[in-house]
Structure formats: structure tokens, C-alpha cells
Amino acid sequence: MQVCPYHGWVYDLTGALIDVPHKDGYPDDFDKSEFGMVAASQVDVYRGFVFASLEGSGMTLAEHLGAATALIDRAVDLSPEGELDLQAGWLQHRFKANWKMLPENDCDGYHVETTHASFMHATDSQAMDLLSDADAEPPVVRDWGNGHMEIDFNVAYRSRNIPFEWFGRVPASKLPNYTAAMIKAYGEERAHELSVTGPPHAIIFPNLFLGELNVIFYYPVSADECVQLYTPMSLKGAPEVNKRALHQTEGAVGPASFLIPEDVIIAERNQAGLNAGGRDWVDLSRGLHREYEEDGKIVSHMSDETVNRGFWRRHREEMLRDHSK
């Protein structure tokens, strides 16, 4: 049930109007069914993630997600019950930048060494080791099409074949119940594979960020202000993982943490820089000369702007599309 804070009209969770205060102000034939909330024209669900389009997107959810369902699968399959729980609590950061600064940043691998230098120095992060390990495949960025994109650390994790390296190198012996539950759910081989590859680091266009073991989304307030919401990605049936993931979230995305506050400040500074004018175009050519195609996706070095180009390509299509159809 929802109550409008203005005049106290009461709606049920389907959006139907079920009561109004002081009914005698309306005639007897006042028809509540005519005053329900306007439904989103498209709502669909993939593995528990609810997607909605207020005015219709011109494509089904399956068409919109395309191959990128694999990115969502990569997260949800980490639960031995095949389900996520997003009830650990939500943080919100409101800040003065256009919302598109966020998808620009979230899969950008070029800023990590500089923007997050303090994180690299203070923690035992393996992110940069992966780039410099001559015996491992380096991480890449991948444009999945339709504006979906990722930094794929899995390539590196797979080549090193170390379980839970993505989880701060925690030894499997510290997660005995989780390991047993995963083997029971998926079998030895698949459970090992999942323990090695870990979660996605991916943007589902336009505003869902699967940030390792965090679910993050954002919405605009105005052209130069937005809100970003975060919660740990708790895995159903995996309390050992969730307890540790909660502390990782506190260190990565909370207001006194390393990563996201740094990205938010940079987004605000970038916005101020754009507002300063002086140039009509921002260069996004990094890595164009070394991109390659793999399984229908565009792939390049982790520091390349392949993902930014993929995001803007889809954004441009949406802005030019006739939304009346």
C-alpha cells in the first residue's frame, strides 16, 4: 500500500486507487478505477531483475539484453540457490553530475591507477597485478552490443585458475559451507569454474551496474545532478560469502570508503570541466587501432575506450529513435 504525501490518496501495490480521504467531496458515481497510477508500458523480469520502460522501448527485454543475459547469469549463478537477495540495505549518493558520467566511468579501466591510487596502495588489490602478470591473460574490456559492456577480469582469473582470487584471494578453506553448497548445486566442475571466474563488472544499459558483488543503479534528477544507489549483492544460500561481501561493500562504496566516493568526485569535476567549454568534442579514440571482434563482441585492452564508444552508440540510437512508435 502507498499513500500519496500530498492529499492522502491510497494506492495498492498494483497502482490501483483504493481509497481517498473525505469521500463526500466527490459525487456517488466517483469511479476510483479511473484514477489509478499510470502503468509503465513495458515491464519484464530476467532472473529476478525487473526492467521497466515508461514509454515503451521498441524492443522486448530479450532483444534489449541480447547476449548480455550472460553477464546477469554470471552474478546469479554464484548463488547455490540461483537467486540474489538485495535486502542488506541501500546507500545513496546524490551528486552534481549528469547521470551518464556513471556508465562512462564504471567500465572505464583507464582511470583506476590514478583515481583509485590510494586504494591500490592501502589494500591488497590484485587488479593491477592482473595487467602485469606475464603468465596470465590480461583483463579486457568488452562491448556486448546494445550499450551493454564490461571490464572482463574473468579472462585473467581463468588463466590463473585460482579459486576466489576475485574475492580478495580468500582461500576456499575459509568458505567450506559455500563450497559444499555450490558443488551440490552445480557439480564439481561447474562449481570450480564459478569459484574461479567470479562476478561480472558490467553495465546493463542504461542504468544498472553489476559492480562485482554490488548491485548499483542510478537515475537523473536534472541534467547536471543524479542519484546513485548501492547494495551488496547477497547470494541466497551463501552466508559465508555475504558476511565478507558486506564488509567489502563498506570499504568500496560507502561514504567513507575508497572507490565510489572517488568516482563521484571525479564525475563532479568532469562535469565542471565540460561546463567550462572551450572544446566541442571529447576524444574517445583510445584503443580504436587495436580492437578485435570475438563472438560478435568488440574486445580491447582494459584501458581502452571501446566500452565508452559502445555506450554512446546505443545512447545516440535512443536519442534519434522515434519514441512515439
Interface map 39-68 toward Fe ion (x if CB under 5 A)? ------------------------------
Cα-Cα-Cα-Cα dihedral sign, residues 77, 172, 141, 85: positive
CB 305 → Fe ion: shortest distance, Å? 15
Q: Is residue 130 within 8 Å of 155, Cβ to Cβ?
A: no
Size of the site for Fe ion (CB under 5 A): 1
CB 108 → Fe ion: shortest distance, Å? 7
CB 263 → Fe ion: shortest distance, Å? 4
Q: Between residues 105 and 234, which has the closer beta carbon with respect to Fe ion?
A: 105
- Residue nearest to Fe ion as judged by C-beta position: 263
Q: How far apart are CA 314 and CA 176, in angstroms?
A: 43
Interface map 238-267 toward Fe ion (x if CB under 5 A)? -------------------------x----
Q: Tell me the C-alpha to C-alpha distance, in Å, between residue 284 and each of 37, 38, 69, 305.
A: 42, 40, 27, 6
Q: Does 77 bind Fe ion (CB under 5 A)?
A: no
Q: Which cell numbers hold the place of 48?
A: 529476478
Half-sphere exposure of 257 (CA within 13 A, CB side): 18
Q: Between residues 145 and 199, which has the closer beta carbon with respect to Fe ion?
A: 199
CB 20 → Fe ion: shortest distance, Å? 47
Q: Between residues 145 and 232, which has the closer beta carbon with respect to Fe ion?
A: 232
Q: How far apart are CA 105 and CA 225, in angstroms?
A: 16
Please compute Rg for the chain using Cα positions: 22
Q: Between residues 61 and 253, which has the closer beta carbon with respect to Fe ion?
A: 253
CB 14 → Fe ion: shortest distance, Å? 39
CB 211 → Fe ion: shortest distance, Å? 9
Q: Between residues 204 and 264, which has the closer beta carbon with respect to Fe ion?
A: 264
- Kindly state the DSSP code that residue 173 receives in the 8-state scheme: G
Q: Between residues 163 and 211, which has the closer beta carbon with respect to Fe ion?
A: 211
Other beta carbons less than 10 A from residue 87's beta carbon? 9
Interface map 164-203 toward Fe ion (x if CB under 5 A)? ----------------------------------------
Q: Is residue 21 within 8 Å of 31, Cβ to Cβ?
A: no
Q: Measuring CA to CA, which residue among 238, 195, 245 is closest to residue 215?
A: 245
Q: What 3-state DSSP class applies to 127?
A: helix
Q: Between residues 143 and 262, which has the closer beta carbon with respect to Fe ion?
A: 262
CB 111 → Fe ion: shortest distance, Å? 6
Q: Between residues 80 and 109, which has the closer beta carbon with respect to Fe ion?
A: 109
Binders of Fe ion among 261-300, rule CB under 5 A? 263
In sequence order, the 6+-apart residues with CB closer than 8 A to the CB of 108 are 305, 307, 308
- Main-chain phi, psi angles of 163, to 5 degrees: -60, 140
- Main-chain phi, psi angles of 127, to 5 degrees: -55, -45
Q: What 3-state DSSP class applies to 102?
A: helix
Q: Is residue 71 within 8 Å of 200, Cβ to Cβ?
A: yes
CB 203 → Fe ion: shortest distance, Å? 13
Q: Between residues 163 and 198, which has the closer beta carbon with respect to Fe ion?
A: 198
DSSP string, 42-59: EEEEETTEEEEESS--SS
Binders of Fe ion among 2-31, rule CB under 5 A? none
CB 112 → Fe ion: shortest distance, Å? 6
Footprint of Fe ion (CB under 5 A): 263
